[in-house]
Chains A and B, each alone.
Chain A
Amino acid sequence: MSTFKPVLTEHIHQKDCHTLSFYKSIGGYTALDNVLKMNPADVIQEVKDSNLRGRGGAGFPAGVKWGFIPKDINKPKYLINNADESEPGTFKDRLLMNKAPHQMLEGMIIAAYAIGCQKSFIYIRGEFYKEFKMLEMALAEAYDGNILGQNIFGSDYNLDVVIHRGAGAYICGEETGLIESLEGKRGWPRIKPPFPAIEGYLQSPTIVNNVETLSCIPHIITRGASWFKSIGPEKGPGPRLFCISGRVNNPGVFEEAMGVSLKDLIFDRAGGIPDGKKLKAVFPGGSSSAILTAEEALDVNMDFDELVEKKTMLGSAGVIVMDETVDMVQACLNIARFYAHESCGQCTPCREGTAWLVKMLTRLVNGGGTPKDIDMIFEITDNIGGLIDFSKGSFGKTICPFGEAVAWPVRSFVEKFKDEFLAYLPQEKVVA
């Protein structure tokens, strides 16, 4: 085991860790105080230098994203904190909001200052009522403490933060779907270009960052980019919250350095598989990542690039563990059903293809499958999400990556556990 010491969750077990007074007692908001004396461009450079990559799923470098904000533009700029956390198997942001709301808020204010934003939003998943109340309380404390509002800490910087509760759609976690929803419209992701950094919320430059990403910011400012970069792989460094669920003895959120081995996470931190069962497969980064077989899972580190080499992704770091008792066909249908239900319905392949997959898998599960169906699943998933060809950089066929999010896991189930799918075929129809 590494000598990693938790950064983001260091204090979450302490009493009243969510309060402003506690946060200040452990040195909270000193980063902000320093930042307000800095040039915004230097703040962006520091975050760029840290190689901090987005914790929401796509893993885009946060500092680079901030750098896309046009410099000389006479429009308001917006920072949106994406707290929609809707990826199955992911529950880290709610922990951060519950236990360290001021850490996130400080990150937000620093980010807002860096990009020249004076009005910022927290788009929080509607089901997170407790977290919503927690954030309301944190905001009230911050306004009282001159941390938000006019002339923050006596500087000439002003910032207001508004909390907006989502109405329960997975797709509103996609940044442009989120922006549409925030504007009061249907959560349909927008076609790009223009990208949100150029034309986002109300056609103005907008940055959307995840809760965990923002929570890293104060630490980068306080301890420096090189400290951050020294944690884990240089190209994707930093502390990371791993959510481990499914067939493990001790499920939960565990903070580890980037690049920790998946084996350690499952068998050490999460206490291994119950009842002495064997590991069968793992989603390494939420349900939209392609699954890894037990063999693959035991030989991989949780690093952006290494998982891409294994044709899957780190995503939201939601590790879902499946043991030998799991019926892979049923699990695959479950995943397909979830995505068919959550498809926004805008793009043809995703709207039609997800429903087709569900109909076909349901028929298969009910004993009506034919050998040709198995091959059709490959074709349908490829037509929704594009071939998994990482050498080309991007692969999608739809406006947003939802197409890939359904295609890759479903395809991986069939690819890696084909025998189980074949076993569902009526016996007389199985021809070699």
Chain B
Amino acid sequence: MPLLKIDDKEFQVESGTTVLETAEANGIEIPHYCYHPALEVVGSCRMCLVQVEGMGKLQVSCNTFVGEAHPDRKVDGKYDMVVHTQNDLVVQERKNILEFLLLNHPLDCPVCDQAGECYLQDYSFKFGNAHSRFEEEKRVRPNEYLGSQIVINQNRCILCSRCVRFTQEISGTSELFVEARGYNSKIAVLEDKPLDNLLAGNVADICPVGALLSTDYIHKNRIWNMEQKPSVCQDCSVGCNVDVFSQKNQIFRLTARENQDVNGYFMCDIGRYGFHRFEEIERVSQPMARNGESFDVLDWDEAIQRTADLIEQSKDKTAGIVSPFQTNESNYLLGLMMKDTLGFLPPITGDEINYPTGFRISADRSPNLMGMNDVCGKLEEDFSSIIKTRDICGLYVLDDGVDRELDDRWKEILAKMDFVIVQSYAMTELAKSAHIVLPGLAPFEREGTITNDKGRIQWLRPSLATEGDSKPDWEILMLVRNALDKETEHFAGLSEVIKKMSEQFSSYSEISLFKIGAQGIALNGKNT
């Protein structure tokens, strides 16, 4: 393998690796704009220029490939390539490029959404000049809508063309292009083909400056005010890795988090803007019991006891309903409690969408259908007939807050029941018909594991604090189970539930949150 020297560090690298890739992987900062690991290399921003010994001019490190040098041409007798990223020539060149980029760039950082996470700002501080030598008029252009949710601030654009390449290579929709030439170049769309594909939001993520902005987030917050927490999208069974940005328990935006085994660098707009759904729901945050047409608030001890009493009275005549939207642990515990009498809330489906470079949106729009099937033992497809044959008179529903129209079959079942216990964070149709409502956690509050449609188990971590008296769903189920039978386990935490679950299902054996980590693991032992 070729031996590469960058500044004073040596690296053995695969032939064909670029200098920039090696530097990035080893914590050496080479500033760059147009280069993005998911996109074709164009080498046009000229920011990543470095000096390569033996080459007359500075080289763009994004397109400088390391290869085996002829024995006679090795530098110092052993290096296949020697690169300088810090010498005077390179330092000066970075200043020159930043000077050019800032000529017409407005100094509007105080009102720019990108401030704080802007590569132009960061590199200017690190590598640029403190003063401008430009004495001419700056070019001023109006903002334009590129699509219904993406606006471009043309003045801030540095024409790195990442967004153009994204629509050509990743979404395959090619809405964006560069219009005009030279100094007049600008990112544009055709009037009758706006940037409205389901991956459009990514262009705001990959824009290195504050040019492309999501109208959903524009002028709503500043990056330094928000907490950034890693999470997993729950809007389809792909399970894209995301970062959730919130302040004071309110989500402001979601961005894609890199995971090469799941979503690459991107996410779709269904998931990106999906969090708004939870802003409008009628939240349940206290245990409640039916009193005629309305509900009385209960404390937890009483709510758990009354739930246990109802189940106890109709022993073996209570069925559980799990959900493809709930975590493995919650579904698993309800299964434990209800033995073999389990049904499930219907999954949500949509169109399967596949993009040219492999990004996909699954037809299964529930995040954990595979996990639900894996950890619940026997699930009854034909639930109505079970109700009849086993004379079921009570239901314990692990509701998921999904706004479903319940069909006549379900309505019929509910009408037959003596009691319905609904564990839910939202006042759904089901909860409204319940005798007891136990407040669980909303999607961005809950913690647990979910299994995507390729059999990859991922750690869903809480992004927001729990609301009101709500408790984690697994804990409510454990408390009810303990109340029913004092001999059952008291789990001190989620990890203990996972341990018990992993002992029972061989495909989940030796699973732990530690092993799952930020990137998840494949259940079949192979990365999917």
On A, residues with C-beta under 8 Å from B are 169, 186, 188, 191, 193, 340-356, 359-360, 363, 376, 383, 386, 392-399
Contacts and interface: CB of A to CB of B under 8 A. Distances in A.
A208 B280 CA distance: 63
B56 A348 contact: no
Interface stretch (B78-86, B130-138, B426-434): B130-138
B139 to A, nearest CB: 8
B137 A383 contact: no
Nearest to A391: B56
Nearest to A393: B56
Contacts of B184: 345
B287 to A, nearest CB: 62
B44 A394 contact: no
Contacts of A383: 96, 99-100
Nearest to B92: A383
B93 interface: yes
Nearest to A170: B181
A231 B483 CA distance: 105
Closest 7 CB pairs of A and B: A345-B185, A343-B182, A355-B183, A191-B43, A352-B100, A359-B136, A392-B56
17 contacts: A169-B181, A191-B44, A345-B182, A345-B185, A346-B44, A351-B100, A352-B104, A354-B182, A355-B103, A355-B182, A359-B136, A360-B135, A363-B135, A363-B136, A392-B56, A394-B57, A395-B57
A343 B181 contact: yes
Contacts of A359: 136-137
Contacts of A345: 159, 178, 180-185
Interface string B222-253: 00000000000000000000000000000000
Select the residue from A341, A342, A351, A363 with max chain B CB neighbours within 10 A: A351
Nearest to A171: B181
Contacts of A399: 43-44
B57 A351 contact: no
Interface stretch (B45-53, B319-327, B436-444, B459-467): B45-53
Interface string B117-159: 0000000000000000111110000000000000000000011
A360 B103 CA distance: 12
A352 B181 contact: no
A351 B46 contact: no
A347 B65 contact: no
Residue of A348, A359, A392 with most chain B CB atoms under a 10 A cut-off: A348
Nearest to A387: B57
Nearest to B161: A346
Interface in B18-64: 41-47, 49, 56-58, 60, 63
B273 interface: no
Contact of A351 (B47, B63, B182): B182
Given A347-B46, A348-B46, A397 B93 contact: yes
B90 to A, nearest CB: 12
Contacts of A394: 56-57
Contacts of B96: 349, 383
Given A191-B41, A346-B44, A383-B100, A351 B56 contact: no
Contacts of B178: 186, 345
A189 to B, nearest CB: 9
Given A344-B181, A397-B46, A397-B49, A193 B65 contact: yes
B136 A360 contact: yes
Contacts of A376: 133
A175 to B, nearest CB: 16
A191 B46 contact: no
Contact of B58 (A193, A348, A356, A397): A397
A356 B159 CA distance: 17
Nearest to B93: A397
B183 A354 contact: yes
Contacts of B101: 348, 352
B383 interface: no
Contacts of A350: 182
B66 to A, nearest CB: 13
Contacts of A395: 56-57
Contacts of A342: 181-182
For the residues of B in contact with A, the DSSP-based class is loop
A349 B100 contact: yes
B348 interface: no
A346 to B, nearest CB: 4
Which among A193, A383, A394 has the highest number of chain B CB atoms within 10 Å? A383
A397 B182 contact: no
A348 B185 CA distance: 11
Nearest to B45: A348
B182 A191 contact: no
A351 B159 contact: yes
A221 B178 CA distance: 45
Contacts of A397: 46, 49, 57-58, 93
B88 to A, nearest CB: 14
Contacts of A392: 56-57
B97 interface: yes
Nearest to A339: B182
A351 B185 contact: yes
B183 A352 contact: yes
Contacts of B42: 188, 191, 346
B203 to A, nearest CB: 19
Contacts of B97: 348-349
A360 B134 CA distance: 9
Could you say which of B45, B47, B65, B181 has the most chain A C-beta atoms within 10 Å of its C-beta?
B181
B100 A191 contact: no
Nearest to B158: A348
B177 interface: yes
Contacts of B44: 188, 191, 346-348, 399
Among B44, B103, B136, max chain A CB count under 10 A is at B44
Given A343-B182, A351-B159, A399-B43, 8 more contacts: A169-B181, A186-B177, A193-B63, A345-B159, A346-B159, A354-B182, A392-B57, A395-B57
B181 A349 contact: no
Contacts of B161: 346
A127 to B, nearest CB: 17
B100 A348 contact: yes
Contact of B103 (A188, A193, A356): A356
Given A191-B60, A340-B182, A356 B46 contact: no
A133 to B, nearest CB: 28
Nearest to A360: B136
B100 A344 contact: no
B33 to A, nearest CB: 8
A344 B133 CA distance: 24
A314 to B, nearest CB: 20
Contacts of B181: 169, 341-345
B183 A343 contact: yes
A396 B182 contact: no
Contacts of A360: 135-136
Contacts of B45: 347-348
Nearest to A187: B181
Contacts of A356: 100, 103, 134, 136
Name, among A341, A346, A398, the residue most crowded by chain B CB atoms within 10 Å (CB to CB). Answer: A346
Interface string B465-509: 000000000000000000000000000000000000000000000
B280 to A, nearest CB: 44
A363 B58 CA distance: 32
Nearest to A384: B100
A387 to B, nearest CB: 10
A353 B358 CA distance: 39
A281 B133 CA distance: 31
Nearest to A370: B135
Contacts of B100: 348-349, 351-353, 356, 383
